[in-house]
């Protein structure tokens, strides 16, 4: 699948994982992209194209919910019930601020919804996917999480 990422830089971003792996604030540990060129083209001056095949959706994450829970145990300090609730929300793409009390967002904005999106991406990466589908303010977006995927 061809995915498009818009940027203000003519240099295509690469995926790096870690709070300070990228210059600035590495909020998502990945790159958001769209399957719609025109939607991507509304965010900057340069559109970069990525070829991504192995994309998770909510049904993929729900089918492996035990692995999602296990991964989150190492990422979040919370009791077992909260971790299971967060895992189910992440698997169902309910990335809002409902679990803010249990999260430590990377962004200076402290946005718990963004942290839920980051965790959804990390879960997908842990399960072996290259990207994960998400619904956001632009419709369906994709968070590319595999650092081996580079712009074409």
Which strand (E) or helix (H) includes residue 141?
Answer: strand 139-144
CA distances from 140 to 2, 16, 25, 35, 67 (A): 14, 23, 23, 8, 24
152 residues of the chain, pLDDT tens digit each:
999 998 888 888 888 887 666 555 567 899 999 999 988 887 778 999 999 999 999 999 999 999 999 999 999 999 999 999 999 999 999 988 889 899 887 666 678 998 999 999 999 999 999 999 999 877 899 999 999 999 99
Q: Quote the pLDDT of residue 44.
A: 77
Question: Mutual orientation of helices 112-126 and 65-73 as an angle, nearest 10°?
Answer: 120
Domain ranges (residues) in the chain? 2-144
Task: Report the candidate in 32, 1, 20 with the shortest Cα–Cα distance to residue 118.
Answer: 32
């Amino acid at each position: 699948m061809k995915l498009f990422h818009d940027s203000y830089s003519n240099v295509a971003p690469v995926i790096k994982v870690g709070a300070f792996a990228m210059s600035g604030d590495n909020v998502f540990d990945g790159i958001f992209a769209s399957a719609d060129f025109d939607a991507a083209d509304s965010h900057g001056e340069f559109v970069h194209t990525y070829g991504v095949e192995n994309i998770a959706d909510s049904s993929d994450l729900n089918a492996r919910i035990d692995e999602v829970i296990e991964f989150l145990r190492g990422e979040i300090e919370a009791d077992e019930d909260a971790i299971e609730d967060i895992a189910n929300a992440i698997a169902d793409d309910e990335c809002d601020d409902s679990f803010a009390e249990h999260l430590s967002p990377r962004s200076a904005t402290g946005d718990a919804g963004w942290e839920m999106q980051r965790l959804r991406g990390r879960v997908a990466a842990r399960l072996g996917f290259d990207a994960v589908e998400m619904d956001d303010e632009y419709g369906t977006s994709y968070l590319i999480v595999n650092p081996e995927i580079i712009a074409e």
